[in-house]
A and B are shown apart, each in its own frame.
Chain A
Amino acid sequence: MYKGYLVDKNLVAKDPHFATGCMFCHKGNENGGAKESAHKDLVKRPSDNLKTCGMCHRQIADTYGKSLHYTTIGQRQGVMKRFSPTELKQFDEKVFQQSCRSCHASCGGCHVKAPPVGGIGLGLIQGHKFVKKDEGKTCAFCHGGRVYPEYTGEYGGKPDVHYQKGMLCMDCHKKSDMHGDGSTYLSKQDVKDRPACTNCHSKLGQEAKLTTRAAHTRHKGKVTCYGCHASAEYRQCYNCHLDTGSTAKPGFLLGLNPRDRKTLTTLRLIPTVRDSFKHAGVAMSNFDSLPNYWDTPAHNIRKRTDRTRSCDTCHTDKTGLLTRETLVEKGSKANEGLIYNIKPIPINK
């Protein structure tokens, strides 16, 4: 859409980013006259080179270069065990660099212009304004397939209670979560001081209401907060292929956390299938070494859900719990290890 390339002329006079002129960042030739000659040697995404922004924002550029948003190493880490050493090398060359890293690399991808997702780019955020924070855009450009619409209720169900109370992404996720803290992490699980429900809800098990206190005390360390407080179905993606993409439908899944195999939590289906990277000629000899589900912090939290209202939802009806029958077809053999056989509550206890 052409509007994605329109610069708001009112910004030019106000914003110091424009003081040095377009060519300072974008190169090209502002005296070129015609489009082709003006765009010769144009740098479309100047902030792909972190030094561009780092000239002024040096500290942020330094930490950002090591951040998960920039390295996208978490995506590689999540799938690498499925490959043999030779396959992993092929994956790195043919898929990771070409695909995974293509949209996650630049400062401008969040603060100036939406990265193209699925070939569709929305263009400049606000007429080339350097947007510091506008979660509906700066975050939702990339996280708008699953997390963001689940949070706002646009994916179905009710909005997350935190959203209804006026909280947005940056109220829980700190600036250092976006820009990195200078450490090199392999996964978001490793990040120090990452958001946790208990950062605010620190007095669990001390509630005045007896049933609430009992529920929090009994489930502590056994069930995650999401396990009970995720309120609705969330997006599950299926059958992803490098050339054709994936399909999606809503679902609510409870099972053991694949990272510890003992905590019951909300799970999200990973759309990687045995031939996901066939298009690039990359096989996955060790596909079964990882399950098709990862633990997910479902962002549709409510105080009251079917599971907080009645113990029977899980302990008798087993609603949403993974079973052999509900596992994804032709999935990994590791999936069975996530099934949790929940026990009924003994009546006399």
Chain B
Amino acid sequence: MGNKSLLLFLAPALFFLLYSSSTIAAGKNNCLVCHTSDATMKLLYKPPAMVASEGEG
């Protein structure tokens, strides 16, 4: 019973420790390799074609 309570208490703590946003984002996300690099984005970016129009508001 005591071990079960300890496990129930530790499980969420371990989850948040191991799988916090930074852990997931920094560890697995390859999108961010390019999208956080100024030089890479500058290299890959293609400007869109412009159309004439007036801003609303």
Give chain A's interface residues, CB within 8 Å of chain B.
Answer: 1-3, 5-9, 12-16, 18-23, 26, 28, 30-32, 35, 38, 116-121, 140, 142-148, 237, 240, 243-248, 271
Query: Given the known A-B contacts A7-B32, A18-B21, are A245 and B54 also in contact in the complex, defined by CB atoms under 8 Å?
Result: yes
Q: Can you name the residue of chain A whose Cβ is closest to the Cβ of B55?
A: A145
**CB <8 Å contact, A38 and B31:** yes
**CB <8 Å contact, A240 and B54:** yes
In Å, the complex CA distance between A240 and B55 comes to 11
Give chain B's interface residues, CB within 8 Å of chain A.
Answer: 20-22, 24-26, 28-32, 34-36, 38, 41-42, 44-45, 47-57
Q: Which chain A positions have C-beta within 8 A of B52?
A: 118-119, 243-245
In Å, the complex CA distance between A32 and B34 comes to 12
**CB <8 Å contact, B57 and A148:** yes
The answer, among B31, B41, B50, for a CB contact under 8 Å with A3, is: B41
**CB <8 Å contact, B45 and A21:** no
In Å, the complex CA distance between A16 and B22 comes to 9
The answer, among A1, A2, A19, A28, for a CB contact under 8 Å with B25, is: A19
**CB <8 Å contact, A117 and B56:** yes
The answer, among B20, B21, B31, B41, for a CB contact under 8 Å with A30, is: B31
The answer, among A2, A15, A30, A35, for a CB contact under 8 Å with B42, is: A2
Report the minimal beta-carbon distance from B48 to chain A, rounded to whole angstroms. 7
Q: Name 19 extra pairs, CB < 8 A, besides A38-B31, A118-B52.
A: A1-B45, A5-B45, A6-B35, A12-B21, A12-B22, A14-B21, A14-B22, A16-B21, A18-B24, A18-B25, A22-B29, A31-B30, A118-B54, A119-B48, A119-B52, A142-B57, A143-B57, A237-B54, A245-B52
In Å, the complex CA distance between A146 and B57 comes to 5
Q: Which chain B positions have C-beta within 8 A of A246?
A: 54
Q: Can you name the residue of chain A whose Cβ is closest to the Cβ of B27?
A: A21
Q: Which chain A positions have C-beta within 8 A of B42?
A: 2
Q: List 19 A-B contacts (CB under 8 A).
A: A2-B42, A7-B32, A12-B22, A13-B26, A15-B21, A18-B24, A21-B24, A22-B29, A28-B31, A30-B28, A30-B29, A116-B48, A118-B52, A119-B49, A119-B52, A145-B55, A145-B57, A147-B57, A271-B54
In Å, the complex CA distance between A12 and B31 comes to 12
Q: Can you name the residue of chain B whose Cβ is closest to the Cβ of A121?
A: B48
The answer, among A7, A144, A145, for a CB contact under 8 Å with B35, is: A7
**CB <8 Å contact, A144 and B57:** yes
Q: Can you name the residue of chain B whose Cβ is closest to the Cβ of A117?
A: B55
**CB <8 Å contact, A9 and B56:** no
Q: Can you name the residue of chain A whose Cβ is closest to the Cβ of B43?
A: A2
In Å, the complex CA distance between A36 and B36 comes to 18
**CB <8 Å contact, B36 and A8:** yes
**CB <8 Å contact, A119 and B51:** yes
In Å, the complex CA distance between A245 and B29 comes to 41
Q: Which chain A positions have C-beta within 8 A of B28?
A: 21, 30
Query: Given the known A-B contacts A30-B31, A121-B48, are A2 and B41 also in contact in the complex, defined by CB atoms under 8 Å?
Result: yes
**CB <8 Å contact, B29 and A21:** yes
Q: Which chain A positions have C-beta within 8 A of B35?
A: 5-7, 22
**CB <8 Å contact, A119 and B21:** no
Q: Can you name the residue of chain B whose Cβ is closest to the Cβ of A239?
A: B54
Q: Can you name the residue of chain A whose Cβ is closest to the Cβ of B29?
A: A21
Q: Which chain B positions have C-beta within 8 A of A237?
A: 54
In Å, the complex CA distance between A32 and B32 comes to 13
In Å, the complex CA distance between A244 and B51 comes to 8
